[in-house]
Amino acid sequence: MEDWMSDGPITMEQILSDWARGAFLAAYPGTVPDGLSAGVVPTADEQFGDYQCNAAMALAKVLKKSPREIAAALAAAARPAAVERLEVAGPGFVNFFLDPEWMARRLEQVQADERLGVPEPGRGRTVVIDYSSPNVAKPMHIGHIRSTVIGNALDRLHRFLGWRVLADNHLGDWGTQFGLLIMGFRHFADPAAYESAPIDELERIYVKSYDKSKEDPAWLDAARAELVKLQQGDAGNRALWQSFVEHSLREFNRIYRRLDVSFDLVRGESHYNDRLPGIISKLREQELVRESEGALVVFLEDEKLPVCIVRKSDGAYNYAATDLATVTSRAEEFQPEAVIYVTDERQQLHFRQVFAIARKMGLATRLVHVWFGLMRLPEGTFSTRQGNVIKLERLLDEAEERALAIVKETSPQMDEARQREVARAVGIGAVKYADLSQNPQSLVTFTWEKALALEGNSAPYLQYACARIASVLDKYRERFPGGDPMAHPIRLGEPLERRLAVRLLRFPDAVVRAAEVYKPNLLADYLYELSQVYSAFYQNVPFLKAGEGVRESRVRLCDLVMKVLRRGLTLLGIETPDRI
């Protein structure tokens, strides 16, 4: 077999696609377009083999030959070692059937590899991932979980794929709300409440101050004045603001700890405050900005985008200016290959505008907006005003409680501390998985039932599979004290073993692809499918009762499944306890 580890591992799809490309070029020299995508992909149905190549049909027009003839030429080429046989089917599909012997040897190599065959295409390049980014003085609610959990999964995926990741929590810590907050704090604050539950108190104050501003113009003017003082560096206001930020962060960090999320940088909008005038002068120098109705705006008709205000008519900077300052600062300081923003769908236009302006300013960094659908409640959008927000902390509490009830029922022999620990991992895992297992861009309607699902396609199903394997491995050691599975080769005899092997070998592609298209759900799907095949294997193929040799081979497969599930779930930020 090929020496796939010598230059870093390559994935199954890469091996087969490279081969197919080479075979096409050899069969039709000079006529195959350079950009040919000879993509070999997993088949949807086992009867068509393990992988398929569909390029023959696409090539038919270019080569002016029938697709079946082209497919036949591919099928007749010298096969790669991984492939047992090739078949032409339908209008011109080429089906690949992998060789069980080859798979067995490859799995043995994967088992010995800490990275389980996953390559490192990042090659040390830098990427900034901007996610979570809650607003200071407001509680995190269920709407924040998507950015946090999806962003964190992308963070972990990129790190594992060899990127130097800078996870940046771009706090909303600057803006007009602070005038109202300062006024409110001076008049309505309850010091004891502020100490014990700072964000709840700040929220209460804000709402009260906001309501008052609606009916009292003098109050609103005073709030504006406080904001100006804050922005001019007034010591008292500055100290208050600082206190708001610190108290908020304390609460955010409590949630991040529960979610096992951490950042390399926590830089709020205020961090870039000093750079705002510089951005405006640069835009002026490059003649990108124009005055309109007192405001400074950038026209983006050439990009088919509406006009973008970068400085308001009262001289204050807005969100676009802050984000331009932020992105140029990141580019200068870290020279990233890419900056990834993880926010909800409402900011699509904003980022398209900011990216367009950044490009006009000469910024070459790849900028990506990974947006996700807004979280809604069955009765509609939630809002602070309607009072129907569900706080993130409450969701996590509820998840752990429900999980605890089930653990107590199913594992009564476990001591209580252990039960709580398992319930924590299972509950938090379920909440994360509920978000990570669906396409980020779909609309999400929040229901308790879905967020806390503990069976079927859910984190606990995967955790259960892991726990069961851990238990099997223990039993093996108990019953066969001198046994060493690694001393025996892997054999793929049963159809279910073969199916399992094919799934196991797809892991690297699942990881690479999930990161490439910014969709953790592709990895979640993969892990779920692997678990399903494993569960079928577990239920239908005896292994501890099998004869020596076969037994060890099957134990090795179990071990591999556990390693892949653990690694995959870790990449999604989900824990895998030994027992659940």
Partner RNA sequence: GUACCUGUAGCUCAAUUGGACAGAGCAUCUGACUACGGAUCAGAAGGUUGGGGGUUCGAUUCCCUCCAGGUACGCCA
Q: Rule CB under 7 A: which of 356-375 touch RNA?
A: 373-374
- Residues in Cβ contact with 423 at an 8 Å cutoff, skipping those fewer than 6 apart: 400, 401, 403, 404, 406, 407
> Counting contacts by CB under 7 A, is residue 453 touching RNA?
yes
CA–CA separation, 395 and 385 (whole Å): 20
Q: Footprint of RNA on residues 232-261 (CB under 7 A)?
A: none
CA–CA separation, 468 and 264 (whole Å): 35
> Counting contacts by CB under 7 A, is residue 176 touching RNA?
yes
Quote the tokens at residue 442.
Answer: 């779909």
Phi, then psi, of 188 in degrees rounded to 5: -115, -5
Q: Which of 17, 248, 365, 438 binds RNA (CB under 7 A)?
A: 438
> Counting contacts by CB under 7 A, is residue 177 touching RNA?
yes
> Counting contacts by CB under 7 A, is residue 72 touching RNA?
no
Measured in Å, how far apart are the chain's first and last C-alpha atoms?
Answer: 40
Minimum Å distance from CB 474 to RNA?
Answer: 8
> Counting contacts by CB under 7 A, is residue 386 touching RNA?
no
CA–CA separation, 212 and 185 (whole Å): 13
- The residue among 196 and 471 lying less far from RNA, judged by its C-beta, is 471
> Counting contacts by CB under 7 A, is residue 468 touching RNA?
yes
Q: Footprint of RNA on residues 208-237 (CB under 7 A)?
A: none
- Residues in Cβ contact with 147 at an 8 Å cutoff, skipping those fewer than 6 apart: 131, 132, 133, 342, 343, 344, 372
> Counting contacts by CB under 7 A, is residue 64 touching RNA?
no
Q: Footprint of RNA on residues 521-550 (CB under 7 A)?
A: 521-522, 525, 528, 532, 535-536, 538-545
CA–CA separation, 439 and 437 (whole Å): 7
Minimum Å distance from CB 367 to RNA?
Answer: 16
> Counting contacts by CB under 7 A, is residue 44 touching RNA?
yes
Contact (Cβ atoms closer than 8 angstroms) between residue 429 and residue 291 = no
Tell me the window of 86-94, 119-127, 190-198, 387-395 that interacts with RNA (CB under 7 A).
Answer: 86-94
* 416-436 and 520-540 helices, crossing angle to 10°: 120
Phi/psi class of residue 542: alpha, beta or left (left: φ > 0; alpha: ψ in -120 to 50)? beta
Minimum Å distance from CB 393 to RNA?
Answer: 22
> Counting contacts by CB under 7 A, is residue 5 touching RNA?
no
Contact (Cβ atoms closer than 8 angstroms) between residue 313 and residue 334 = no
Tell me the window of 20-28, 192-200, 289-297, 356-364 that interacts with RNA (CB under 7 A).
Answer: 289-297
> Counting contacts by CB under 7 A, is residue 407 touching RNA?
yes
> Counting contacts by CB under 7 A, is residue 437 touching RNA?
yes
Radius of gyration of the chain (CA): 28
Q: Which amino acid is at 562?
A: M
Q: Which of 410, 477, 495, 549 binds RNA (CB under 7 A)?
A: 410
Minimum Å distance from CB 397 to RNA?
Answer: 17
Tell me the window of 113-121, 231-239, 293-301, 361-369 that interacts with RNA (CB under 7 A).
Answer: 293-301
Minimum Å distance from CB 472 to RNA?
Answer: 4
Q: Give the pairing of strands 295-300 and 289-292.
A: antiparallel
Minimum Å distance from CB 293 to RNA?
Answer: 3
Q: How far is CA 333 from the centre of its chain?
A: 25
Tell me the window of 22-30, 258-266, 356-364, 446-454 that interacts with RNA (CB under 7 A).
Answer: 446-454
Q: Which of 42, 80, 485, 568 binds RNA (CB under 7 A)?
A: 42
DSSP state of 263: -
DSSP letters along 360-372, please? HTT--SEEEEEEE
Quote the tokens at residue 316.
Answer: 């204050």
> Counting contacts by CB under 7 A, is residue 205 touching RNA?
no
| Cα four-point dihedral sign 5, 9, 12, 13 | negative
Q: Which of 5, 112, 471, 493 binds RNA (CB under 7 A)?
A: 471
Tell me the window of 72-80, 101-109, 360-368, 454-462 that interacts with RNA (CB under 7 A).
Answer: 454-462
Q: Footprint of RNA on residues 505-524 (CB under 7 A)?
A: 513, 517, 519, 521-522
Minimum Å distance from CB 259 to RNA?
Answer: 19
Among candidates 49, 94, 101, which has minimal Cα distance to 492? 101
Minimum Å distance from CB 253 to RNA?
Answer: 20
> Counting contacts by CB under 7 A, is residue 441 touching RNA?
yes
CA–CA separation, 261 and 333 (whole Å): 24
Q: Footprint of RNA on residues 300-339 (CB under 7 A)?
A: 306-307, 309, 312-314, 316, 318-319, 322
Contact (Cβ atoms closer than 8 angstroms) between residue 174 and residue 268 = yes
CA–CA separation, 274 and 317 (whole Å): 11
Neighbour count for residue 330 (Cβ, 10 Å): 23
| Cα four-point dihedral sign 136, 138, 141, 144 | negative
- Total of chain residues touching RNA, rule CB under 7 A: 105
Minimum Å distance from CB 196 to RNA?
Answer: 27
Q: Footprint of RNA on residues 106-145 (CB under 7 A)?
A: 135
Q: Which of 460, 485, 568, 573 binds RNA (CB under 7 A)?
A: 460
**Residues 7-36 as x/- pattern, contact with RNA by CB under 7 A:** ------------------------------
Residue 384's Cβ-side half-sphere holds a number of Cα atoms within 13 Å equal to: 12
Q: How far is CA 24 from CA 19, 75, 306, in A?
A: 9, 10, 47
Tell me the window of 3-11, 91-99, 158-166, 362-370 that interacts with RNA (CB under 7 A).
Answer: 91-99
Tell me the window of 2-10, 106-114, 184-192, 436-444 that interacts with RNA (CB under 7 A).
Answer: 436-444
